[in-house]
Structure formats: C-alpha cells, structure tokens
Amino acid sequence: MTSSAVCSHRDPMLKKRDDFEDMLEERRNSSDLRYALRCYTPVVYKGLAPCKANQLKNMVLQSEQIHYVINQVSKEMGKAVDEVQEEVSSILEEMAQRLQLSTVRFFAFTLSKVFKTLFRSICVNEEGIQRLQQAIQEHPVVLLPSHRSYMDFLLMSYILYTYDLALPVIAAGMDFMAMKFVGEMLRMSGAFFIRRSFGGDKLYWAVFSEYVKTMLKNGYAPVEFFLEGTRSRTCKSLTPKLGLLNIVMDPFLKGQVYDINLVPVSISYERILEESLYARELLGVPKPKESTSGLFKARKVLSEDYGSIHVYFGQPVSVRSLAQGRVNRCQFNLKPRHIPRRPSEDIQSFVNDSAYRLVRAQEENMVLKPWVLLASLLLQNHHQNQAEGQKRGITLDELTESAVWLRDLSRHYGAFLHWPDHTPPSEVVASSLSLHQGLVRISEGRVQLALEQEKPHSTITPEEDLLSQAVVVLSCASYRNQALHVFLRPALLASAIHAASSNNKQDIYNSFSFLRNMFSNEFILCPGATIEDFEEACFLLVKTGALQVTQQEVVVTERGHRTLTFLTSMLDPFLQGYQVVCRFLCEEATEALTEKQFVPAVRKFIIKHLLAGRLRYSEVLSSDLQKNSLAALLRLGAVRKIKGAEQETLKVNQVMVNSLEDTLGGKLPTQKAAVARL
C-alpha cells in the first residue's frame, strides 16, 4: 500500500460512524462501590492466563537479545558481565509496571466520583468496544489514543474496566514517577515508566524494547502509548513519533507473531481541563512539575463544568495488511533475530506512512462540538476588529447565522460534528457560550473574546496586558485547532488561489504544493500525497459550489467568496507566524544563536512588534508555532545546525530565508506590507 493510497480521497460525507452511549448514566444510578468491587473477568489473548509482573521481568532478563547486548556493552565499556546485568535489573525495576486489581478497583471507585462531578457525560461507541473485544482475543493489540489531556490514560483504563476488557499496560513519562504515592498507584494500575529521551544509551533501549515486545508477544495485555509522544498543548495533532511504533511492529516483521492489531482511539473533550495552563506554557510560563501536592491543589477544578467527553474506538488496523506489498520480511532471515539492527530505509518509510495513517484515523473520528465552530468564528471576528481598530464584537444573531452556515459547510467536508439538531440554533450557541464563559464576554447582545483585564490598567505593563490577552486568544485557538483537519486541505487551496492571483490551475497547484510542503511540520499531511490532497480540496470546494474547476482553470464562484475568505483567514495566523520567524532570523539571529535560545529570542522580537502594532495575530506568540517553523526551515535547508565546541548553533542561509519570507508574504499582500515595516 503506498502512502497515497493510505490518504486516498473520497467523499467524506459517505463515512459511516458508530453511535455513542453515555457510560456515566449507569454510574449516576447505581452504587460506585458495588461497581468497583464487581466481578471482573476480561477476555484475554487466545484464552491465555496472563503471566505475573515478576514472571514478565524474568522473561526479559533471560531473553537472547538482552544477553547479547549485555555481552556487547560489557566488552565496549570494559565492565564485568555481572555489573552490566545489575544495571539491566535496576533499569527494569525502575521501568516495570506492577498491575494489581486492588489498585484498579480503588481508581474505578475514585474516578467514578471525579468523572460524575466534572463531566456531564462520557460517551463511548459501544460497537468499537465490541470490535476491540474481538481483536484482543485474536492477535496482540496496541491501543493508540490521541493525547490532549493528562486525563487520557486514566480515562482509557476506566473505560476498559467498565466494559470488562483486559486493562492495558501504558507507556508513561518518568516525570509521573516523581509524584509520591500517585506514581506508585499509576504503576500498580498498569503504567510502565520510560525516560523522555535515552539518546545513545544502548542498554536502556534494549531493555525497554525487549520489555514492550515481551508483553506484546505473550499477549500479556494490550499495550497502550501515545503516537504523538506528548500531550498536544495546541489541540491539533502532532507529528507522530516513531520509536515505540517501530518496537511494536518488530515482532510481526520478524515473524514472531502472525499479526498485530493497532487500534486508533479518538478522545474529544468539550472543555479541556488544562486549557489556560497550555496557553501559558505556549507563552513561556514553565509547566508546573508533576507532584502530588499539585494534584490536590488542582481539586478546585472539581467545582467547574467541563461538558462532555466523546471516546471513539476506531477500526482495528492489521499490521499484516498494512505491510502487504510494502515490506519484504525475508530481510529479517539474514541475521539472528536477537541481534539488534537499525531499521532499513523501506521499513522506516513503512512505519512512517503507517504512523501518519493512524494519526489521520484519530483525527477523522474526533467529535467536534458547536463551540469549536464558534471559537473559529470569534477568533476571525477578533482579528478583523483588530485590523479595523474596533472592539465591537459580533451580534448574537450574526454569530448564530454564521455558526449554522459553518455547521453545514463542515458537514459537507465530513466533520464528525455533534450538533443537537432538534434544539434551536440560538439555544445551541447560548449553551456553548455559557460553558466557555471564561473565554467570552456578552454585552448588549454582542459577543467578543474576554480580553479585558480584571486589574486596573494602571497596575499592569503593556507587555503583561498583551500576554494576558494572548492567553485567551491561544485558549480559543486550541478549540479552533480541533477543526483544522476538516478544513486544512480546502484552506491550503484557498490560500494558494489567493497567492497565485491567476486562475491558472498549474500556478495554483504549484502554490498549493509550496504551502503544503512549508506546513508539513505544522499539520498532519501524509508523505507523498500532494496530488491527492489537491484533488480532495478541489472536490470539496466544487461540491459546495465555491469553485469551478476545468483542465486549465480554477475559478471562484460568486457564492464561493464567503467560503474562501473563511478558509484563508483560518491559515493567516500560521502564515504570519512563519513570516515573522523568517524576518527574525534575517534581522536578529547572531552567529552564536542556539536552538535553546531561539524561542525566548523570537518571542522577545514578536512582543516588540505586536506592541508596535506591526503584527496582527497574537497567536504568533505560540512557542509551538515558532518551533514548527524552525523545524520546517531546518528541513528545507534554509537553516542548518553547526556543531560547535560546546553546543550546536543555528546557521541561517539569509538568501533562502528571505526568499521564503517573500513567497509566504505573497500569500497575504496586506500582511506583506505590514511585515515589511518590521
């Protein structure tokens, strides 16, 4: 299967999706204690009795791969074999989970109380649960949830316990282990702890990969990890990390198991617990360390309403069928299987394509609530008001009319939208605004973002005022970002049409291809699928009457202007973000600039120009956007990392960066003039 086939275009409205059931309904009507202590008899892989945690550790310690690496490290480091063996044991001790049903029952009881307080409903697609139950019995299973909140892995285990499914063993970051009491509780509910990075530590990598593969091959339990590697602070999908996916595919590739089922899971929060925390992190306020006292201080969140959660278990994806015609497994017969080897280029390409396919599957089953559409509209209204020097906001009636228009458009684009159709739109809008009242202000029938300070203006500096407003804008943008995957391809085409300033289809395609390449660190765009994405965008815009497309020309229709204005406005902040990073690198970057210094330095540059009114979007303050634009420039060769005596520095190719800035500027003539004044 080629990557283009993975991301093939079809009418998104024809997708069939399962219905949801609210699993909290039963919890509200029966005893939590009885629920936590009930008989729990999950079905397991091929009816095997799961081995105990200590047996699992012994299997890892006695594996051929670990013995091979111990001998190798012993020779390389000049250490005794026993000494290296001790190191392996202590790594395993630090890492391993110790799943205990008593701890799981404690969590089941506690989380029932917490979830009923925080959420109106937790909706799960029960058909997906049935598919998962079947998959667990047939082949080893890997669960791949999206990652937007700390709540994700607790929620996953809670759901599987509720539906009498085998509890997963979960890859968790080492920072959780530092939480006294809670770290051990997580370990006893199935978490195994891994370092955030282990560079060239051959021994650690060997122990970690063998531990995961042993659990998987023996069907000990479903293995769960986050493909994105970390929580998305922006609520849009992150470029997948391939390390763990390489590890879990290895037993199939080496013929040690017949197949492996990968199950993408989409978790959608109507309101995110970490909302303002994320925005502050993106603005450079350091993330608080995970601690038990921090957890108890966070109890004040229990007094708030966080709406509903939707959890969608996707179709299990067979690694065997993914590999059909893509991977020649004979290459693994040339060396003993226990000898570690770097994945070949075709394996790396296969794993990368599979990862993108899985993240796209997560995106497509993300449930969008009405607020996601309202946040998109309110942000665009805010940017428009700023450009006009106004603070008017938008009337409730206008907002409702625009929301209904956007609801219909997003459904045509295949969005999984949870909009209550039997409720008048004005009530749907009012209910959404009420749930997110911390982000909006309604006054005299007009709605706008809640940017006004509670403190008197005399006591805060202009920079503090700017940053506090940016917290609200970035919080709002995190909801808008949840819909980006729906609008992304049409938005790239709309921006390409704007930039090409001609109707020539080839010119527009070239512009689309440039933008898509530029933004491939920012959004989930499948490798090698430019033509398919262009065709899908044309198809959607023609289908909704916004464009007419012939062999040679792309023409915007009269009714298409509203759609194209909305779509280009959605990408504008990203375009300006990349432009301003280029401008910074050309004007301010010194020879000694390191990657670590880059974000604070570019933030200072942006704040200066925002305060001077030369930039339109405070979203460009997002460190995520800044890092992604640097990653794009490094990928394109416009910036290079130069190894120095002490640390790497960034070497800027001024001509290339200037040229990229000009090309990006051409997308938005009004912004080009603004940024040219920097």
Does residue 589 or residue 232 have the better pLDDT? Answer: 232
pLDDT, tens digit (0-9, with 9 covering 90-100), for 233-277: 999 999 999 989 999 999 999 888 999 999 999 999 999 988 889
Task: Bin 343: left if φ > 0, else alpha if -120 < ψ < 50, else beta.
Answer: beta
pLDDT at 419: 96
pLDDT at 669 over 50: no
Question: How do 169-173 and 191-194 pair as beta strands?
Answer: parallel
pLDDT, tens digit (0-9, with 9 covering 90-100), for 501-550: 789 999 999 999 999 999 999 999 999 999 999 999 999 999 999 999 99
Q: Which two tokens stand for residue 465?
A: 């005022």
Three-class DSSP category at 514? helix
pLDDT at 50 over 90: no
What is the rounded average pLDDT for all residues in the chain? 88
Phi/psi at 263 (nearest 5 deg)?
-115, 105
- The residue type found at 651 is K
Q: CA neighbours within 13 Å on the CB side: how many for 572? A: 24
Q: Which residues of 104-124 are buried (b: 16+ CB within 10 A; e: fewer)?
A: bbebbbebbebbeebbebbbb
pLDDT at 292: 44
pLDDT at 10: 57
pLDDT at 389: 75
Q: How far apart are CA 153 and CA 163, in angstroms?
A: 16
pLDDT at 301: 66
Kindly give the interhelix angle for 484-500 and 505-518, rounded to the nearest 10 degrees. 130
Dihedral through CA 169, CA 171, CA 174, CA 176, nearest 10? -60
Q: Which two tokens stand for residue 237?
A: 């999908």
pLDDT at 65 over 70: yes
Q: Which long-range contacts (C-beta less than 8 Å, at least 24 apart) are formed by 193-198? A: 193/94, 193/95, 194/95
pLDDT at 290: 53
pLDDT, tens digit (0-9, with 9 covering 90-100), for 615-652: 989 999 999 999 999 999 999 999 999 987 778 899 99
Average pLDDT over residues 62-84: 88
Strand segments, DSSP code E, in 85-126 are: 121-124
Instruction: Give DSSP secondary structure letters for 435-491.
Output: HTTTTEEEETTEEEE----SS-GGGS-HHHHHHHHHHHHHHHHHHHGGGHHHHHHHH
pLDDT at 49: 65
The H or E element spanning position 434 is helix 425-435
Q: How far apart are CA 347 and CA 345, in angstroms?
A: 5
pLDDT at 333: 66
Average pLDDT over residues 44-69: 81
Three-class DSSP category at 84? helix
pLDDT at 164 over 90: yes
pLDDT at 299: 58
Phi/psi at 677 (nearest 5 deg)?
-80, -5
pLDDT at 385: 86
Question: How do 639-643 and 648-652 pair as beta strands?
Answer: antiparallel
Question: Could you tell me the sign of the dihedral formed by the alpha carbons of 225, 229, 231, 234, in that order?
Answer: negative
pLDDT at 626: 97
pLDDT, tens digit (0-9, with 9 covering 90-100), for 10-39: 566 556 788 999 999 999 999 999 999 999
pLDDT, tens digit (0-9, with 9 covering 90-100), for 376-419: 999 999 998 887 777 788 999 999 999 999 999 999 999 999 99
**Band of the pLDDT at 58, cuts 50, 70, 90?**
confident
pLDDT at 202: 85
Average pLDDT over residues 105-128: 95
Average pLDDT over residues 337-363: 88
pLDDT at 295 over 50: no
